[in-house]
Amino acid sequence: MIHKFKWTRYIGLFVLGIIYLIVIPLIWGHSSFILNIAITASIFSIAALGVWICFKVGLMNMGQSIFLALGGYCTAILSVKLGLSFWLCLPISGILAAIVGLFLGSVTRWLKGFYFSILTFVLNMAMKQILMISDFTGGASGIRNVARPNSVSIGGLTIIPQFNGDNKLPYYFLAAVLLIITVIVIWRLTTCPIGRMTDALCQNDKLAASVGINIVKYRLISICTSSFLAGISGAFFVGYTTVIYPITYTTTESIYLPIYCLFGGVNYIIGPILGAFFFQAVFPFLSILHDYQAIIYALIMIVVIRWLPNGIISLRFRRKKVAE
């Protein structure tokens, strides 16, 4: 399991990073269509990475929309009612989502994994209903005119410019920075001792428990991280679109995130990112198929689970195995 750190292993990732950070903004910097896809895909990748972290401890999070909505509404309410800056709302939303995640996780802490999945699935429905009737969150029409991220300057030097609706480039870089930080943090988490223990949990939880690994602790850590990431991405979406409606946060949306993970490959950290970018990038181009979008999702899901249980990334390794 322990690899020697070799640069050659990571050249591909390095190239992808350069394309992502430099080539895309240089070439498509003025095309808001392409940038919009890239921004949405990046943020969905962050939420999908949260789901992936739950997969790592053998849980399936089927209510990521709960935490996306929590983050989004937290930011919207704080910035509209209290006038807080977006840069403060972002971490607060993440922490709030993490606390709620901790609570949900602790309710099912001694139970088998599928209880967590069903609880999140059922609560997702409940949450939509609460948001629809609550006056505090604006009911079905939601909250509009949320402030965009404002400029930040220290000592007269503007570090971050004022965001506006016409130029999507600042949003792109913000999303990219958030995604890269997330990937680095999760990478560290999965390669440090915690990651080794969650690997053990994923492979055989009873054996892991018998050698003294505290299952509950690592599950709660994963659920917390997962909901934190969802809270952050929900907050970003509100800052990006400036509106929030309850109808966006349905169970179907929650189900798409595990599909991203599975499509890309559950065993690899790049998996959920690949999945998110693929789905976000392919469907806008196939706008003729808009009516069939959900059925195509379903078919892809079934085909991938049935014939490619490790995602499209396993296509690369399969050839090697045959050669051996």
Partner 1 sequence: MELIQTMLINFIMLGLFYSLIALGLALIFGVMEVLNFAHGQMYVLGGFVLFYFYGKYHVNYFVSLIICGVLLAALGFLFEKFLFRQVIASEKVTHSGSFLLALGTSLLLEEGALLAFGEKARGVPPVIQGIAKIGSMSVSYSRLLVIVISLFLILALFYFLNFTKIGRAMRAMTQDKETASLQGINVRQLSSLGFCLGAALAGIAGGVMSPVVSFSAGSGGPITTKVFIILLIGGFGSLVGAIAGGFVLGFLEAVGFALFPSDLVMLIIYAVVFLMLMFRPRGLMGKVFRE
DSSP tag of 245:
-
Restricting to residues 129-158, which ones interact with partner 1 according to CB under 8 A? 129-130, 132-133
Compute how many residues bind partner 1; rule: CB under 8 A: 50
* Contact letters for partner 1, residues 14-53 (x by CB under 8 A): ----------------------------------------
Name the residue with tokens 């991220």.
149
Task: With CA atoms as reference, report the closest residue to 32 among 167, 149, 161.
Answer: 167
Euclidean distance between CA atoms 105 and 102, whole angstroms:
5
Task: Please give the single-letter amino acid code of residue 192.
Answer: C
Residue 186 contacts residue 30 (beta carbons within 8 Å): no
Binding of partner 1 at residue 226 (CB under 8 A)? no
The helix or strand, by DSSP H or E, that contains position 158, with its residue range, turns out to be strand 157-160
Which one of residues 286, 299, 317, 318 is an interface residue with partner 1 (CB under 8 A)? 299
Which one of residues 17, 113, 170, 195 is an interface residue with partner 1 (CB under 8 A)? 113
Binding of partner 1 at residue 125 (CB under 8 A)? yes
Name the residue with tokens 């901790």.
102
Binding of partner 1 at residue 286 (CB under 8 A)? no
Q: Least CB distance from residue 205 to partner 1, whole Å?
A: 7
Residue 192 contacts residue 127 (beta carbons within 8 Å): no
The angle formed by the CA atoms of residues 123, 220 and 313, to the nearest 5 degrees, is 85
Residue 260 contacts residue 276 (beta carbons within 8 Å): yes
Residue closer to partner 1 (CB basis): 13 or 140 = 140
Binding of partner 1 at residue 251 (CB under 8 A)? yes
Write out the residues near partner 1 by the rule CB under 8 A: 55, 58, 60, 62, 107-108, 110-115, 117-119, 121-123, 125-126, 129-130, 132-133, 202-206, 209, 215, 251-252, 255, 258-259, 262, 266, 291-292, 294-295, 297-299, 301-302, 305-306, 309
